[in-house]
Amino acid sequence: MSYDLFVFPDTFNADAIRAHFEARLNYRVEPHQAWYANAETGVHFGFDILERPEAEEGDEAMAQPHIAFNVNYFRPRTFALEAEPEVAAFLASFPSRIDDPQRMGDGPYSREGFLEGWDYGNAAAFRAMAEQGASRPLAADPARIEEVWAWNYSRAQLQAEAGENLFVPKIVWLTPGDGQDPEPAITWTFGVATIIPESLITRIVLVRQERPKLLKMFARNPDPKFEYRLIGVEGGIRIAGLERGEIDGRPALFTPATGPLEMQAVFSGVWSKPEFKLLAPEVVLGADLVALGAS
């Protein structure tokens, strides 16, 4: 099940269309498709470039050269929030007629119409999946999902503003253990000065290099291995002497590469193998959408 939008440029120039997508970030462009995939946010969708489409008999409109935009339903709303500017950018570059079976019909196009169509269709998809007996998906606060997505979407810009000596981490979703709800987290690596957006996360994955066993200490090129430890925000970063400030208008903790003994102690001791499981962003869904399947 998917949201579909058909775009009929006034002048169809396949080379110019491919060049448009090639000039934008996160696209893999092939002769008949431009596929968008953002490694930072996990959002993906596609534009089919149909220069010589095969349409059903009697459907003259779909026999014309056109672009078919598609993004899957049963996804968090962030997929629509990230896709809409890409659709709008294409329409700004190529004056077109649209055909939106969900909401806007033959136009005019609007951001509001796109998001309303997505919301309606995505909600219907959740109800349909529940009726088919699909297992209950992982749920989180929809506002938190959008905040995490917004951070990751702008992370490259935030990193550029922070400079090379301060790491701006990606926020990931994980389940601390079997059967537990998903939580947002970042990694904090020992020896790496890191910005911790404490208002956006509930967990931190500590990372340190594993100490080599005695027999491997003098190996020429030992492969570095890492250990991980999952901690809560409250217990992990209430450390005196660390700088507090803001980034992107949000409170944040700025950790140094090396710091007070209290900080070093957080990374010390024996760490057991953690039980947390990393999640793809697309499987963490708004609790409001998940509730539709239970109603």
In sequence order, what DSSP letters do the residues of 212-280 get, joined into one string?
Answer: PPGGGTT-SSPPP-EEEEEEEHHHHS--TT-EEEEETTEEEEE--SS--HHHHHHT-S--PPP--EEE-
pLDDT at 136: 78
pLDDT at 62: 81
Q: What does DSSP assign to residue 79?
A: H
Tally: H helices and E strands in the chain: 8, 16
Give φ, ψ of 231 to 5 degrees: -130, 160
Query: Poorest-confidence range of 51-55, 103-107, 271-275?
Result: 51-55
Distance between CA atoms of 266 and 102, rounded to whole angstroms? 52
Mean pLDDT to the nearest integer, 70-90: 97
Give CA 158 to chain center in angstroms. 16
Q: What would the pLDDT profile of 207-252 be if each residue is shown by its tens digit? A: 999 876 655 555 565 677 899 999 998 755 677 667 889 998 888 9
Closest by alpha carbon to 103, among 205, 233, 169, 5? 5
Distance between CA atoms of 1 and 123, rounded to whole angstroms? 11
Mean pLDDT to the nearest integer, 195-213: 89
78: confidence class by pLDDT, cuts 50, 70, 90:
very high
Distance between CA atoms of 65 and 86, rounded to whole angstroms? 20
Specify whether the CB–CB gap between 111 and 88 falls below 8 A: yes
Specify whether the CB–CB gap between 60 and 76 falls below 8 A: no
Distance between CA atoms of 9 and 91, rounded to whole angstroms? 8
Token digits for 188? 């904090």
Distance between CA atoms of 68 and 212, rounded to whole angstroms? 54
Q: What would the pLDDT profile of 248-287 be if each residue is shown by its tens digit? A: 888 898 998 887 888 888 899 999 988 999 999 999 999 9
Full-model pTM: 0.91
What is the identity of the amino acid at 73? Y
Mean pLDDT to the nearest integer, 86-100: 96
Is pLDDT of 58 > 60?
no
pLDDT at 52: 86
Distance between CA atoms of 130 and 1, rounded to whole angstroms? 14
Is pLDDT larger for residue 56 or for residue 51?
Answer: 51
3-state helix, strand, coil in the chain (%, to 5): 30, 30, 40
SS3 state at 180: coil
Q: Which fold has domain 2-131?
A: TATA-Binding Protein (3.30.310)
pLDDT at 90: 98
- Strands of the sheet containing 33-37, edge to edge, are 27-30, 33-37, 44-50, 66-72, 2-9, 96-99
Mean pLDDT to the nearest integer, 63-80: 95
Query: Poorest-confidence range of 19-28, 96-105, 195-204, 286-295?
Result: 286-295
Query: Poorest-confidence range of 132-136, 163-167, 173-177?
Result: 132-136
Q: What would the pLDDT profile of 3-27 be if each residue is shown by its tens digit? A: 999 999 999 999 999 999 999 999 9
pLDDT at 263: 85
pLDDT at 40: 97
The CA-based angle 289-294-295, given to 5 degrees, is 95
Question: Residue ranges per domain, the chain?
Answer: 2-131, 142-282
pLDDT at 116: 95
Specify whether the CB–CB gap between 183 and 174 falls below 8 A: yes
Specify whether the CB–CB gap between 263 and 240 falls below 8 A: no
pLDDT at 216: 56
pLDDT at 119: 95
Token digits for 114? 């796109």
Specify whether the CB–CB gap between 276 and 177 falls below 8 A: yes
